[in-house]
Structures are given as structure tokens and as C-alpha cells.
Amino acid sequence: MRRTARQLGWKVATIGWITRFGTMVAVQDTRDVPEEFRAAVDAAMEERMNAALAKVWGEPGEAPVQRGSVALMTQEFRAAVASAANA
């Protein structure tokens, strides 16, 4: 995944940790967010933080849904690779 991300021109950081279910590894794109996408990225980050805080504080009712699931991020990564291969 790291090699493919670098081929796309991404600046990457590799994150890994061991859980009781196995080893997890992620490749994080560390490029600056283009200005036209800054508002959407900031809003998504705020939603994720609010969802995490709702769980910590134990607010009544359902906690907000966190976007950015592993399955969704994997699909986005594969789509980026496919579009770069077709270009």
C-alpha cells in the first residue's frame, strides 16, 4: 500500500498497532488539503471528534455515526489507484 500511495504522489505515514484481534496497519496521506476541499475536510474532522466525545462523555441517546470506516477508506484508496492506472 505504501508503494502504491507513493506512486500516486502522496506523502505518507505508516501507522501500525497490535490488537487482540491481530495486527492493523494503515497508510495515511499527509499532504496538505487543497483549499477547495478544506471546508469539507474540516467539517468531517469535527463530526468525528464530536462522535468520539459523545462516546466519552456518555451523552444520552445514540452516538453520532463516525464516517471513515475501514471499508470505505479501502474503497477510496482502490478508486484512486484505479483512476491513476487509467490516466
pTM over 0.85: no
pLDDT digits (tens, 9 = 90+) for 57-70: 766 666 555 565 55
Backbone angles phi, psi at 34, to 5 degrees: -60, 145
d(Cα 12, Cα 30) in Å, to the nearest integer?
Answer: 5
Domain count, the chain: 2
Q: Are 64 and 51 in contact (CB under 8 A)?
A: yes
> Do 44 and 19 share a structural domain?
no
pLDDT digits (tens, 9 = 90+) for 12-71: 787 787 878 777 777 777 888 889 888 988 888 888 888 777 767 766 666 555 565 555
> Do 79 and 56 share a structural domain?
yes
pLDDT of residue 16: 80
Q: Which residues pair with 18 in a beta bridge?
A: 23
Candidates 3, 2, 7, 1; CA nearest to 84 is 7
> Do 69 and 50 share a structural domain?
yes
C-alpha cell at 24: 492493523
